[in-house]
Amino acid sequence: MLEDQVGNSQINQDSRTISVTVSAVANVNSLKAIEITTSTFAKVSPAVGEAQDFTLPVAYAVVAEDGSSVEYTVTVKQEGSEPQLDNASFDTWFTTPKGYQEPGLDANSIWATGNAGTVTLGNPNVTPLAINGSDFAAKLITLDLGNLAGSIGQRMAAGSLFTGKFQLDIANPLNSTKFGIPFSARPKKFSVKYAYSPGTPYLNKNGQTLAKNDSCDVYLLLENREGTEVKRIATGWFRSGEEKIDQFYTITVDLMYGTLGANVPAYQKPVNGLYGASNEKVTHLTVVFSSSYNGALFEGGTNSTLVVNDLKLIY
């Protein structure tokens, strides 16, 4: 990972090439690698912290413990001043080794889902939905995983689609989700097309029926993660339980920079209570779509369905 990087590195193991995008304000004449992941005892040259001129591709040599070496060529592209997110139209999907589909070209995608966890007890609950020709949307469904899942407090699996990574942690399922990607721009709003149908009955993590109605969640967070603590820079949140299934509806959500006021619902505020100044540097972006607003508690409406398409950042 390079300083001022945005999004994920695109690694092609066959050609041994790595493509990286950096922010519009990055100095491509002098960029440092701030993190390089290799096998144990391998050495890399140039090393972490050594500035390089990336106006042309730069070769990185990786020497293994046994002395064998390979060379990767790193190419840097600088984004524009008003960047959009890769595959925000959700038209591109790839098939995982386990046979279900995920949004993006490959595992280096900025988008992830909870499918890897859901398929251990059932079917994937985030899938591509054909709209017209090559136009696809993402369909998210809250699934009832049955009595076995209920016996371990994981009865309901909300469909979730987000920027980041999902690394299954069976011992602590909530730790599986790694939200956020490197990002540095400062949009004012975002828009997305959506359709939603809340499902019934509404069940808790053990399968008990609750007197609740479900809602979908759609939100975007900008953060500063430069230090040891995560600070919230901006918040844009949409939550609704209204049934809208006859067509796609476009919502436009304002981003509120700085500390959220007393009139803002508590669920929109950072769990750690930390905010950055409204003009503070943005280092990460998190986008989350969920078919059930309490999906993190393993509860929700049976078959609640959220369909999303064409996410746009507005500057």
Domain spans of the chain, in order of start:
5-78, 93-314
The architecture (CATH level 2) of 5-78 comes to Sandwich (2.60)
Rounded-to-integer distance, Cα 49 and Cα 207, Å: 51
Q: The pTM is what?
A: 0.85
- Both tokens of 180, joined, read 């956020």
Q: For residue 174, is pLDDT > 80?
A: no
Residue 29: phi and psi, rounded to 5, are: -75, -15
Under the banding of pLDDT at 50, 70 and 90, the label for residue 168 is: low
Task: Name the DSSP class of 268.
Answer: G
- Both tokens of 182, joined, read 């490197």
Residue closest to 116 by CA, chosen among 163, 160, 148, 180: 160
pLDDT of residue 212: 96
Q: For residue 138, is pLDDT > 90?
A: yes
Under the banding of pLDDT at 50, 70 and 90, the label for residue 170 is: low
Q: Which amino acid belongs to residue 291?
A: S
Cα four-point dihedral sign 240, 245, 246, 252: positive
Rounded-to-integer distance, Cα 292 and Cα 142, Å: 7
pLDDT in tens, 92-134: 999 999 999 999 999 999 999 999 999 988 899 999 999 988 8
Q: Is residue 305 a contact partner of residue 292, using CB atoms and an 8 Å limit? A: no
pLDDT in tens, 175-222: 778 899 999 999 999 999 999 999 999 999 999 999 999 999 999 999
The architecture (CATH level 2) of 93-314 comes to Sandwich (2.60)
Residue with tokens 């066959």: 14
In this structure, the strands spanning 69-78 and 17-22 are: parallel
Q: For residue 60, is pLDDT > 80?
A: yes
Cα four-point dihedral sign 174, 171, 97, 165: positive
Report the mean per-residue pLDDT for the chain.
Answer: 93
Same topology between domain 5-78 and domain 93-314? no
Under the banding of pLDDT at 50, 70 and 90, the label for residue 158 is: very high
Rounded-to-integer distance, Cα 32 and Cα 16, Å: 20
